[in-house]
Amino acid sequence: MRITGVLAAAAVALTSASPLAAHGNDDALAAFAALFEESAIVSGPELVDCRLSGGAVTVCYKITVVPGETVKAGPWCPRTITDGPEVSGIWFDDGKVYNADGAFVANLPEFYGDPTWQLHDPATGHVFVTDNQIACEAAARPDVDPAYRNHCVECLTSYIDPGLTRTYIVPIAPVEAGEPQRLGEAGGAGLAFDGIMLGPPAPVEAILGSHTLAPFDDCGGHVNPHVGYHYHAVTDCQIQIAAPNAHAPLIGIALDGVSIYGQLNADGSTPERLDVCRGHTSEALGYHYHVSGPGDNQIIGCHSHQIGCVSDDPDRPCDATQRRPPPPR
Ligand SMILES: [Zn+2]
Ligand SMILES: [Zn+2]
């Protein structure tokens, strides 16, 4: 399914001259297209010229998706301190996943050792929730509106900008970068096959620093009205495509064109010799990433290769050496 770096590089070099090479790229495009949930796709995928973050000029896949159309998002915030996990989302701390239910919310002062936490009304047990779009946006911005301190932040899919699309432009073959690149400034780790962004780490320090909680649903996702629904963890919700030899399943494509696989192999074993980005090389799959555990607040560690582009303008050509918009939270 995945063309190797060497083959892909040869195909790129020969595209204009050789019908055979062009055919190779077409096959790769068809294989790429087949990975995605059709209802998430607005247009593409197609092959376009692109300029990657390190300046490399190459051929990229371009795909435009609707972020959040295909998934059943939520729930996130409990409404009372007696609400259970079935009507609440999750929270990460120190590598662990917690149910962000009523009991968790009530226990926040103890959990974080900070009596300033008071996310519910002690008289009624009702949880303070940002229950409209204005509140969601005021609480979700980096400088949280003081009125929404001690709130559970919840943004609904109905708050997503109408007509919002996200266009991903990623190299058909990864191109070496001088050094690993942090996630975040380019729209996260990559794209899952349901059209949802595999996000950067959530800014947990900033969220907790203003005594807010911004839970993820049980799929590890939540909503930013301007970015759409996005994942901060890989759980069993994402589309998984079986890989050969009981290797972990394929779950997405990174912005540097590297394939992203699940955390564990089919027999439960942990992939070995992962680099700082959580990548390693195998004979069957070439260089690829494995995702972190769902509580780690990182899907992969970094991008080890030059990244392409993510944009909400489907017509913008990809020049990843240009400045990018700030990352979502
Ligand atoms: Zn592997
Ligand atoms: Zn987020």
Q: What is the three-state SS of 220-246?
A: CEEEECCCEEEECCCCCCCCCECCHHH
- For the chain, what is the domain count? 2
Based on the domain organization, do 147 and 26 belong to the same domain?
Answer: no
Assess whether 63 and 119 both reside in one domain: no
The C-alpha atoms of residue 208 and residue 90 are separated, in whole angstroms, by 15
> Are 180 and 103 found together in one domain?
no
Residue with tokens 């204005």: 134
**Peptide linkage before 75 cis (omega within 30 of 0):** yes
Residues 216 and 89 in one domain: yes
Q: Is residue 77 part of a domain?
A: no
What phi and psi, each to the nearest 5 degrees, are found at residue 40? -85, -15
141 assigned to some structural domain: yes
Ligand in nearest proximity to the CA of 202:
2
| Predicted pLDDT at 288 | 98
Any idea which ligand is nearest the CA of 299? 2
Mean pLDDT, to the nearest integer, of 256-276?
97
- Residues 2-18: pLDDT tens digits? 333 333 333 333 333 34
pLDDT (mean) for 121-148? 93
User: Do 218 and 118 have their domain in common?
Assistant: yes
Q: Assess whether 148 and 113 both reside in one domain.
A: yes
Q: Which two structure tokens, joined as six digits, stand for 203?
A: 């800014």
- Domain containing 27: what range? 5-69+165-193+238-311
Tell me, in angstroms, the distance from the centre of ligand 2 to residue 23's CA: 39
Q: Rounded to an integer, what distance in angstroms lies between the CA atom of residue 36 and that of residue 44?
A: 11
Q: Would you say residue 117 has pLDDT above 90?
A: yes
Residue 326: per-residue pLDDT: 52
Q: Name the closest ligand to CA 282.
A: 1
User: Does residue 52 sit in the same domain as residue 150?
Assistant: no
Alpha helices in 112-270 (DSSP H): 133-140, 204-209
Computed over every residue of the chain, the mean pLDDT equals: 90
Q: How many A from CA of 228 to the centre of ligand 2?
A: 9
| Residue 124 maps to a domain | yes
In a domain, 29, yes or no: yes
Answer yes or no: do 264 and 285 share one domain. Answer: yes
What's the 5 CA to ligand 1 centre distance in angstroms? Answer: 16
Same domain, yes or no: 130 and 222: yes
Q: In whole angstroms, what is the distance from residue 328 CA to residue 206 CA?
A: 13
Q: What is the pLDDT of residues 15-65, one digit of tens each?
A: 333 444 456 788 999 999 999 999 999 999 999 999 999 999 999 999 999
